[in-house]
Amino acid sequence: MEDFIQNGFDVGIRIGEVIEKDMVAVKLSGELRQIAVASPRYLVKYTKPNQPKDLLEHNCILWRWPEAIHPYKWEFYANGLWFAININGSFIVNDRNAALKAALGYRNRVLC
């Protein structure tokens, strides 16, 4: 992850909750929405998940923030409540483009 202060940047845009030393954060937008998706070829071969807990039966693409140790828990919203699921997967990325390419390339996984 780029250190904006150390590298002399005046302005930087970052998505996340961590604010580094000497930084002032200004919220630029509302919540970012994510959706769970799968390639059509994946869905032909595997059972389509109908609810979040069904994803526990799939080998999903996991996302990890660049500085994080553990993968990001997939969060869902239903009936006015947020809940997280520890999704299983053998493929972990820290780049959303890599995750998208893996899903579109049919690596037997689901992407969030």
Per-residue pLDDT of the chain (112 residues; tens, 9 = 90+): 567 677 777 777 766 666 666 777 777 777 777 788 888 888 888 888 999 999 999 888 898 887 788 888 888 988 999 999 988 888 888 888 888 888 887 655 555 5
The pLDDT value given to residue 12: 74
The pLDDT value given to residue 43: 84
The residue among 14, 6, 34, 48 whose CA lies nearest residue 100 is 34
Q: Which two tokens stand for residue 20?
A: 């580094």
Q: Has this prediction a pTM greater than 0.85?
A: no
Give the start-to-end residue ranges of the domains of the chain.
40-104
User: Rg for the chain (alpha carbons), in Å?
Assistant: 17
